Every structure is written in structure tokens, then in C-alpha cells.
Amino acid sequence: MGNRASMQLQQEEIDDIQNETGFSHNQIVRLYSRFTSLDKNNNGCLSREDFLRIPELAINPLGDRIVHSFFLESNDETVNFKQFMRVLARFRPTQKNTLKNKLNTREEKLRFAFQMYDLDGDENISRDELLAVLHMMVGDNISEEQLNSIADRTISEADEDGDSRISFTEFTKVMERVDVEQKMSIRFLN
């Protein structure tokens, strides 16, 4: 319990996180409370196992990919609170007249979504990666033939340069008509 007291957020840290992410002081304090409740080792960091104890992630077919996204900025097997907040900032609703909060722009939200499919991190989505994510999402509810058809059609429609892969630029063009700002916003973060 003494360990918790030493892990209290300082006002300077709150200000830094607020400036970088756009979260309000109260949101940061609330999310810090949630973060510390997930931190079973009381070391100020979360492991993959800590994340997988979150029921919503445990049942989400893309839960492993979402958890993985928290570790992209980290060179370690743990995520500290500031790294945690940077990822969550991508799920804040975008605000039209905010210039300083770059983490929840349309482009950052698209980059996050793109990384869900780019399993090997090579900045391209291959047919095999697309197929693997489709398998995660639908399980055995769709036949292998249907999944292959969906993957083939998606690649052929999105691949403008003929390399049989989807680049981030191609991905953003495909997503032009999708309301990413709405779909990738968590309302409790308002």
C-alpha cells in the first residue's frame, strides 16, 4: 500500500499529459485510477497480462491486436501511464478547433487502424495479414472460401500500385468515406 502513495501523479505530470493528449485533468485522474487498479505488480507499469485481464479486451476478437498497439511505442514488455494515455488519446473524439492535440487526428486514428492489420509492421497490409485479421474477427462464422474472396476483393480494390499489398496511403484512400472520427471515439472519454 505504501507503494501506491509513491506512485501518485504530480501536477507537472498531469499538465504534460494534458498538453500532449488533450484529456482534461479529471479524465487523467480517473484513467490513472483505472491504470493503477490494473497494475497488479504495483510497479507503475502494465504488462500484456494486465491488459488481458480487462474483460472487454478478453472477449474482443481483436483484443490481442489492441493490446499489441499499446506496446508499439514501448521498447519494453511493459507500458507506463504516459504511454497508456498516448494510445488512449487516439480514441478521444476529435475536436474541430483544437490544434495542439495531434494524437487524435483523423490521420492518427487511421494509422492506429492500419496497424491493427499490419501484423509484421512492414508498413503494408498483405493478403495473408488481411486474411489473418479477418479470421480473428469472424472466427468460423464464414467459410474459408468466403474469407479468401473478401481478402482478394479488398486487395484488388485498394491496391493502386499493383504490388498486391495495401500501403498506408492506399488504406487512407479506401477509408475516405468512413467516419473514422466517430467510429474510433470512446464516448466515456468525452
Is the pLDDT assigned to residue 92 strictly greater than 80?
yes
Q: Indicate the domain borders of the chain.
A: 12-89, 104-183
Domain 104-183: which CATH number of 1.10.1240.10, 1.10.420.10, 1.10.238.10, 1.10.10.60: 1.10.238.10
Rounded to an integer, the average pLDDT of 66-84 is 87
CA angle 131, 137, 166 (to 5 degrees): 40
Is the pLDDT assigned to residue 120 strictly greater than 50?
yes
Q: 3 falls in which pLDDT band (50, 70, 90)?
A: very low
Query: What distance in Å separates the CA atoms of residue 116 and residue 123, rounded to the nearest whole number?
Result: 11
Average pLDDT in the chain: 86
Q: 105 falls in which pLDDT band (50, 70, 90)?
A: confident
- pLDDT at residue 100 in the model: 56
Q: Are 7 and 42 in contact (CB under 8 A)?
A: yes
Q: What is this structure's pTM?
A: 0.79
Is the pLDDT assigned to residue 130 strictly greater than 50?
yes
Q: Establish whether domains 12-89 and 104-183 are of one fold.
A: yes
Rounded to an integer, the average pLDDT of 84-94 is 86
Rounded to an integer, the average pLDDT of 50-56 is 88
- pLDDT at residue 59 in the model: 87
1-15, 84-98, 137-151: least confidently modelled range: 1-15
Burial of 169 (0-12, 13-18, 19+ CB in 10 A): exposed
- pLDDT at residue 55 in the model: 87
- Answer whether CATH 3.40.50.150 is correct for domain 12-89: no
Residue range 162-171, pLDDT digits in tens: 999 999 999 9
Residue predicted with more confidence, 101 or 182: 182
- pLDDT at residue 5 in the model: 37
DSSP letters spanning 90-155: TTSPP-TT--S-GGGSHHHHHHHHHHHH-TT-SSEEEHHHHHHHHHHHHTTSS-HHHHHHHHHHHH
Query: What distance in Å separates the CA atoms of residue 53 and residue 57, rounded to the nearest whole number?
Result: 8
